[in-house]
A and B are shown apart, each in its own frame.
Chain A
Amino acid sequence: MSQATQRHDDTDEETLIEVRNLEKYYGDDGMFSPPPVKAVDGVDLDIKRGETFGLVGESGSGKSTLGRTLLRLEQATSGTVSFDGTDITTLEGSDLKRWRRNAQIVFQDPESSLNDRMTVGEIVREPLDAHDKGTERERRKRVMDLLSRVGLREEHYYRYPHQFSGGQRQRVGIARALALEPEFVVLDEPVSALDVSVQAKIITLLEDLQEEFDLTYLFIAHDLSVVRHICDRVAVMYLGKIMEVGETEELYEDPVNPYTKSLLSAIPRPDPTDESERTTLPGTPPSPRDPPQGCQFSTRCPAKIRPEGFEEVSEETWDAIERFREIVRERTRVELGTVDRVKRRAGLFSKYDDIDEAVKDLFDGVERPPVVDDHLTYAVEQVKAGHPQDARERLHEAFGSVCDRERPAHHQVGDRGRESYCHRHREEYDDVESAIRR
């Protein structure tokens, strides 16, 4: 939205929301509980007044949790969220209630986020009632105004949500979010459930409303082309961490982080003549309960750094090793039953003999040079003996690089506020582009 960009450029660059080291863990409630799910794992970001800030990522990346934590719909585990200078993570009672007027949310699913037993008028009026805004008559008038402002008609006041189409229901959700004249609105996948022609209408409406009411948006979506259209700046999340953040056009034109690159190249383009090179990522994101010790993206990264001493190993072999590590990692997550544990102690364990077959398939026609072979053989034996954890550790020791061991830092890239979370930006390593092309 270049109009919007211009608008912000010549007004202010004032920060409305400042997030520092925000963490949100689930299931972290006792000494004996399993490791927590780190849904948001140390996030820093600034949202400027009047901008549309995009948050993209795949399911499980923590983007919705981050949005909800910013609104205090979830209580942060640690870190701060400053809204206009006030840390809202510690607000309570009437302060919290007063602040809540200022920050609203529109949900993805207009099917389930509206109460079917209330009329549209009541739904939109509810926040006004809850915050005791004006007299009965003023509220009614306000609701009528809102309905017409979002493209509905006054007679819709008395209808029920089920009488509306998906697009219309989303308009009701937007009217409700705007009822208290907030400054900041979180749009959590607001158009994902809608058909493309309806989607375009809702996006246009959101743009108009932003202009009219000076709103600041956090736009959460998995659809990258919608984000490109509507957002001024964008952050890309993966497994609770922001991988890259920057101005939208710049980031889309020239992504520097390996995850952003792969994600953007995976979007199916509505252009059959498009022949551009795809980077198809292997596997699926790891469990947020057991994230990699190093970079969150290291298990799938096409630009992962190899440790020293393996320069001579072929790409094919290395690839097979990484896939094998993935399999072993998966196996450490499988809980053994009591019988299996007894068998393991007695040395009679056989449940994992099938690892041989998996290895045979992976390394079929692939060299296993001596520098790697010992480690692989040891790991296979450990898995068979029912100790996949030992195998996993040995493989980590032997084949782990800085990407497996250390969390990267957020590196500044360029001079327009772009940051990327990747070891490759350090001087001693080749850059991302040449690593991916290899």
Chain B
Amino acid sequence: MSEPVLSVSNLRTVFHTDRETIRAVDGVSFDVGRGETVGIVGESGSGKSVTARSIMGLVESPGEILPGSSIRFNGQELTEFDDAQYREIRGSGIGMVFQDPQKSLNPVYTVGNQIIEALEENQDLTGEEAREEAIDLLEAVAIPDAPRRLDEYPHEFSGGMRQRAMIAMMLACDPEFLICDEPTTALDVTIEAQILELLQELQEERGLSILFITHDMGVIAEIADRVNVMYAGEIVETAPVEELFASPTHPYTEGLLDAIPGRQDGSEQLRTIEGDVPTANEAASHCRFAPRCEHAFDACEQAHPQHVEVGPEHTAACLLYPGEKSRSERVEHHRAQAETGGDHE
């Protein structure tokens, strides 16, 4: 594969509070290749949205990206960027689509105004030219009757239309990389299908690379090429999408898939994962999933699991692997990796 568009390595984003330091993202690494869609899936509190915000430079005090983290976009190190440089990259390189378009559109300007503003800002188009381009963009995101819609306010749009307008606005910046943070979660299923289809079309037409964040395994299965499963600030498993669904390896991924109604036989009881997602407030010296894991053994509380290859382009961070070794060998393997692998602290 050629040079990835985005390469995140050992990203650690923490939030300081009076009492403790919350390690929202704790040593996350992944790549997004050109034209690829990479998914991050996890439950609330897993750190998936903070990962997105860290890449976009939207982490504000009391949050902090710790030294040693690296986010490389087209070869540039984003963690060294200042505000002005970040604005530049948000205006042209990276676009972001949020869950709630209501919050990202300004209610007192027409949708057209906002798109035209983005065009003026980023593509130096003005007047009639900008208006024409704005109409083209609204049509590109399949908003019917685009010329009239341009003069309407966000509240006159339905939820799905607003999300389309948001995407049009983002396309005005002509990005090559798109971060979608739960873009369809607030939408009805028929509208969700439209938006997913739209994103896939745009990706093909414009050669976009996408980082797609969601809690919905169904959406991930539909849109992603590769999937990263996050738990309590860490990626616990990563694999190509078909591989992940066919042979989930980490006990957390297995649990997550088993908890979805309809994955098993209709008659079975849903499997549940006991307990809740913990808040990571100190450096991991153990497996954060161990307290909820039915396969956990003593060492899970003492050694921090490292990523181990378990299949083609498929790794999982769990002391059960590599499966061909004995338990004590495995624990040794993970301990040694943790020391030499340059993993945090």
B5 at the interface (CB under 8 A from A): no
Contact of B192 among A3, A225, A249, A268 (CB under 8 A): A268
- For B271, the closest partner residue in chain A by CB is A200
Contact at A228–B189, with CB atoms within 8 Å? Answer: no
The reply to whether B260 and A225 contact each other, CB–CB distance below 8 Å, is yes
A358 and B261 contact, CB distance less than 8 A: no
From residue 185 to 214 of chain B, which have CB atoms closer than 8 A to chain A?
188-194, 196-197
**Shortest Cβ distance from A199 into B: residue:** B259
Taking a contact as CB atoms closer than 8 A, the residue among A195, A229, A331 that contacts B262 in the complex is: A229
A204 touches B269 (CB 8 A): yes
- Residues on the A chain within 8 Å of B196, using CB: 268
- Which residue of the partner chain B has the closest CB to A208? B269
Q: Interface residues of A: mostly helix, strand, loop or mixed?
A: helix
Is A280 in contact with chain B by the CB < 8 A criterion? yes
Give the CA-CA distance A52 to B124 in the complex, in Å. Answer: 59
Whether B266 contacts A268 by the Cβ 8 Å rule is: no
A167-B276, A222-B189 known; A268 vs B145 contact (CB < 8 Å): no
A197 at the interface (CB under 8 A from B): yes
List the A side residues contacting B222 at CB < 8 Å: 268-269, 272
Contact A280 B259 (CB under 8 A): no
CB contacts under 8 Å to B, within A222-277, are 222, 224-226, 228-230, 249, 262-263, 266-274
Q: List residues of chain B with CB within 8 A of the CB of A331.
A: 145, 148
Partner of A1, one of B159, B160, B262, B266: B266
A195–B147 contact, CB under 8 A? no
Give A272 to B246 CA distance when docked, in angstroms: 9
Residue among A224, A228, A361 having the largest count of chain B Cβ atoms under 10 Å: A361
> Contacts A196-B217, A228-B261, A327-B144 known; A165 to B276 CB distance under 8 Å?
yes
In the assembled complex, the CB of B136 is this many whole angstroms from the nearest CB of chain A, namely 10
> Is the beta-carbon distance between A269 and B218 smaller than 8 angstroms?
yes
Whether A196 contacts B161 by the Cβ 8 Å rule is no
Number of A positions contacting B (CB below 8 A)? 52
Q: Identify which of residues 260-298 in chain A touch chain B, using a CB-to-CB cut-off of 8 Å.
A: 262-263, 266-274, 278, 280-281, 283-284
Whole-angstrom CA separation of A268 from B219 in the bound complex? 5
Q: Are A284 and B191 in contact (CB under 8 A)?
A: yes
A139 within 8 A of B: no
Cross-chain contact B218 with A2 (CB below 8 angstroms) = no
Tell me, yes or no, whether B267 is within 8 Å of chain A by CB: yes
Task: Let me know if B189 and A225 touch, CB within 8 A.
Answer: no
Interface: B299 (CB within 8 A): no
Closest to A354 in B: B147
Cα distance, A200 to B269, chains bound together (Å): 9
A283 to B260, CA, bound (A): 29
Q: Does A323 contact B (CB under 8 A)?
A: yes
**Measured between C-beta atoms, what is the minimum distance from B1 to chain A in Å?**
20
| Interface residues as binary, B131-147 with A (CB distance below 8 Å gives 1, 0 otherwise) | 00001000100001111
Interface core residue of A1, A201, A284 (most chain B CB under 10 Å): A284
Taken together as a complex, chains A and B put the C-alpha atoms of A263 and B190 apart, in Å, by: 6
Scoring B residues 261 to 279 as 1 if CB is less than 8 Å from chain A, else 0, what string do you get?
Answer: 1110011011111001100
Does chain A have a CB within 8 A of B64? no
A203 in the interface (beta carbon within 8 A): yes
Determine whether B304 belongs to the interface, using a CB cutoff of 8 Å to chain A.
no
- Quick check: is B22 within 8 A (CB to CB) of the other chain? no
Complex: A274 Cα to B242 Cα, angstroms: 10
- Closest chain-A Cβ to B194's Cβ sits at a distance in Å of 6
Residue of A nearest to B276 (CB): A165
Which A303-320 residues have a C-beta within 8 angstroms of B?
none
* Residues on the B chain within 8 Å of A199, using CB: 259
Q: A3-B267, A269-B218, A272-B241 are in contact. Are A354 and B148 (CB under 8 A)?
A: yes
- The reply to whether A225 and B261 contact each other, CB–CB distance below 8 Å, is yes
Let me know if A357 is at the binding interface, CB within 8 A: yes
In the complex, are the beta carbons of A225 and B216 less than 8 A apart?
no
| 14 other A-B residue contacts (CB within 8 Å) besides A197-B259, A207-B269, A361-B146 | A197-B43, A201-B272, A204-B270, A225-B260, A229-B261, A266-B193, A267-B218, A268-B221, A270-B221, A270-B257, A272-B242, A272-B245, A274-B221, A284-B161
Q: Ordered nearest first, which 3 A-B pairs have the shortest CB separation?
A: A268-B218, A229-B261, A354-B147
B contact residues vs A (CB 8 Å cutoff): 43-44, 135, 139, 144-148, 158-161, 188-194, 196-197, 215-222, 224, 241-242, 245-246, 255-257, 259-263, 266-267, 269-273, 276-277
